[in-house]
């Protein structure tokens, strides 16, 4: 229940059509660059899409804490351990902000988490791959955080105010993560031959998942057109991928590293990058539950849900009941 709205999963696809006058007013507000607040009228499909997207984003942050989280005990040195712990904690904090933003649209957090652990809701493809070595964590913190920033800076200029507010704060923290990741990659890339090999191998492992991170090509994207019209998404999947190439491929080359795609090249005439097929079938398999770590990731979340239930129940209990003991 949110205000006078009771929505559990967002209106289904068969929800009654929106009032055309209200819809036209809403679209005029969007066109004028106004922000939409939770109590404002919004089309049922706008609400449904926002819940889908913000919820998937929130899940990506808590699941995203896991590949790097497994390295906290093995981080090389105390300073890096402290930094990694802080980063992982930040990612979980981002999930809190995003679940709160999604809740303003009427879907309770418990339902979102239930949909995650029961495989009804997606989360970012990249977190279904393992972090085999310390260099994997460096590449995640540099290039996946970089990709997330490209996406989130764009989304933060969007139309739904609570999501934009959450993203502004998240982007500040992600920028710090990126610097931490870059520092780790530079250390490895300028280190011993073994360290250089380790970071190159990690980059090779993550390249394809990073290509998938921005979503399918625009021609295959289901939601982009509608989401861009309503200013929920402020850049298309292909535009974000191009931005990533422009900003990060030169930095990768600068470190003497290579990209595992022989077809990657910038067309000097158009300024556009062309790249080899990153295996979109693999992307589909991974986002639909059949990646290398999907089962493991969800099992960890399921255990966390079960073990933490008593804490959530205690917090939800009215204050007076919390102190009632058999002796009182
Ligand atoms: N992974 O029609 P489109 C992070 C799905 S946060 C999984 O193009 P859309 C921080 C899509 O949901 C990372 N599924 O979709 C961090 C849809 O399926 P559905 C997360 C994907 O929404 C860093 C179907 O494919 N960020 O990394 C993916 O227009 C380091 C059709 O696709 C966000 O969630 C994918 N990569 O565009 C944490 C940002 N791509 O729902 C720890 C918000 C597509 O119909 C360590 N989200 N799909 O069943 C967005 O901006 C958009 O949702 C896109 C996808 C751009 C991800």
The per-residue pLDDT for range 40-80, each reduced to its tens digit, is 999 999 999 999 999 999 999 999 999 999 999 999 999 99
- What's the pLDDT at 13? 59
- What's the pLDDT at 6? 47
- What's the pLDDT at 5? 47
Low-confidence ranges of the chain (pLDDT < 50): 1-6, 8, 328
288 Cα: distance to centroid of ligand 1 (angstroms): 12
Q: Which of 56, 84, 175 to mutate to test the pocket of ligand 1 (most atoms within 8 A of CB)?
A: 56
- Architecture of the 24-293 domain: Up-down Bundle (1.20)
Residues 154 and 235: beta-carbon distance below 8 Å: yes
SS3 318: coil
Q: Which of 180, 215, 221 to mutate to test the pocket of ligand 1 (most atoms within 8 A of CB)?
A: 215
Nearest CA residue ID for atom 46, ligand 1: 64
For residues 290 and 82, what is the distance between their CA atoms, to the nearest angstrom?
Answer: 33
For residues 226 and 45, what is the distance between their CA atoms, to the nearest angstrom?
Answer: 10
Domain locations in the chain as residue ranges: 24-293
CB atoms inside a 10 Å sphere around CB 55: 28
Range list of β-strands (E), the chain:
265-266, 273-274
57 Cα: distance to centroid of ligand 1 (angstroms): 7
Q: State if residue 53 touches ligand 1 by the CB under 6 angstroms criterion.
A: yes
324 Cα: distance to centroid of ligand 1 (angstroms): 46
Nearest CA residue ID for atom 53, ligand 1: 53
pTM: 0.94
- What's the pLDDT at 2? 41
- What's the pLDDT at 3? 40
Q: State if residue 222 touches ligand 1 by the CB under 6 angstroms criterion.
A: yes
The per-residue pLDDT for range 286-327, each reduced to its tens digit, is 999 999 999 999 999 999 999 999 998 898 887 766 665 555
For residues 233 and 93, what is the distance between their CA atoms, to the nearest angstrom?
Answer: 23
């Amino acid at each position: 229940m949110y205000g006078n709205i009771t929505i559990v999963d967002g209106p289904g696809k068969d929800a009654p059509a929106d009032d055309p006058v209200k819809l036209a007013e809403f679209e005029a507000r969007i066109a004028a660059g106004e922000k939409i607040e939770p109590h404002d009228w919004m089309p049922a499909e706008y609400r449904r899409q926002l819940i889908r997207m913000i919820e998937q984003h929130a899940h990506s942050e808590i699941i995203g804490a896991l590949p790097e989280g497994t390295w906290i005990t093995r981080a090389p040195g105390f300073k890096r351990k402290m930094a990694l712990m802080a980063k992982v904690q930040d990612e979980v904090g981002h999930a809190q902000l995003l679940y709160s933003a999604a809740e303003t649209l009427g879907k309770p957090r418990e339902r979102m988490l239930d949909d995650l652990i029961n495989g009804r809701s997606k989360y970012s493809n990249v977190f279904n791959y393992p972090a085999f070595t310390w260099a994997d964590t460096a590449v995640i913190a540099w290039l996946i955080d970089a990709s997330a920033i490209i996406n989130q800076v764009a989304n933060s200029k969007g139309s739904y105010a609570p999501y934009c507010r959450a993203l502004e704060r998240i982007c500040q923290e992600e920028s710090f993560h990126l610097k931490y990741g870059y520092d780790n990659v530079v250390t490895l890339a300028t280190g011993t031959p073994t360290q250089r090999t380790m970071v190159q191998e990690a980059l090779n492992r993550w390249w394809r998942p990073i290509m998938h991170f921005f979503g399918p090509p625009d021609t295959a994207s289901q939601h982009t057109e509608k989401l861009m019209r309503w200013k929920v998404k402020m850049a298309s999947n292909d535009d974000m991928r191009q931005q990533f190439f422009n900003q990060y491929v030169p930095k990768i080359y600068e470190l003497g590293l290579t990209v595992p795609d022989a077809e990657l090249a910038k067309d000097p005439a158009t300024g556009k990058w062309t790249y080899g097929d990153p295996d979109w079938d693999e992307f589909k398999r991974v986002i639909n539950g059949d990646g290398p770590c999907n089962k493991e990731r969800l099992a960890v979340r399921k255990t966390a849900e079960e073990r933490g239930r008593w804490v959530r129940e205690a917090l939800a209990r009215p204050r007076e009941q919390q102190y009632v003991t058999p002796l009182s």
